[in-house]
Amino acid sequence: MERSSMTKTGPEHPENSVGELVKTMTEQVSVLIRDEAALGAGMFGVSGVVALYGAACLLACAIIAISGVVSAWLAALIVGVALLAAAGVMALLGKGRISKATPPVPEQAVADVKADVEEIKERAHR
């Protein structure tokens, strides 16, 4: 059996130094971690799609349950209006949160820069 070229010795196949081995190992670990993160992100995305289908099934269940009392089109209309109302409330809450987050300018940094400019102007006039 032949050994791999990394373990062969001689002028044609010198052994790798410890530094080269560590470099190779860190590169391989980096690739492995990146691949695992990509796989995890893909699985997370798939779980979101499956959850969306699950929510659709629950909505269909609600429509079917309500259609036992009223006609099917009215049951679907009731569920649709309730969903749109919930979406509207969430949009308004999100808009409120975003407006609280503005202005995005870091006020302390701006004040520090203004103070620095004033000090530079004072030193320039001396």
Neighbours of 57 (CB within 10 A): 10
Task: Reply yes or no on whether the pLDDT at 10 is more than 80.
Answer: no
Based on the fold, state whether residues 23 and 46 are members of the same structural domain: yes
User: What is the pLDDT confidence band of residue 14, given thresholds at 50, 70 and 90?
Assistant: low
Of the pLDDT bands very low, low, confident and very high (cuts 50, 70, 90), residue 60 is very high
Residue finishing a domain among 66, 88, 105 = 66
The verdict on 40 and 85 lying in the same domain is no
Cα separation, 49 vs 42, whole angstroms: 11
Digit-coded pLDDT (tens) for 98-111:
887 766 667 777 88
Overall domain count for the chain: 2
If asked whether residues 24 and 42 sit together in one domain, one would say yes
Mean of the pLDDT values across residues 14-38? 85
Does 1 score more than 50 pLDDT? Answer: no
The mean pLDDT of 85-110, rounded to a whole number, is: 84
Give 42-52 pLDDT, tens digit per residue.
Answer: 999 999 999 99
Domain shared by 24 and 79, yes or no: no
H/E stretch holding 48: helix 18-66
**Domain interval for residue 19:** 1-66
Place of tokens 């699950």: 54
Same domain, 86 and 50: no
Does the pLDDT of residue 18 top 60, yes or no? yes
Look at residues 66, 94, 112 and tell me which one is the last residue of a structural domain. 66
Query: Across the chain, what does the average pLDDT equal?
Result: 85
Q: Evaluate whether 66 touches 75 at the Cβ level (below 8 Å).
A: yes
Q: Tell me if 83 sits within 8 A of 59, measured CB to CB.
A: yes
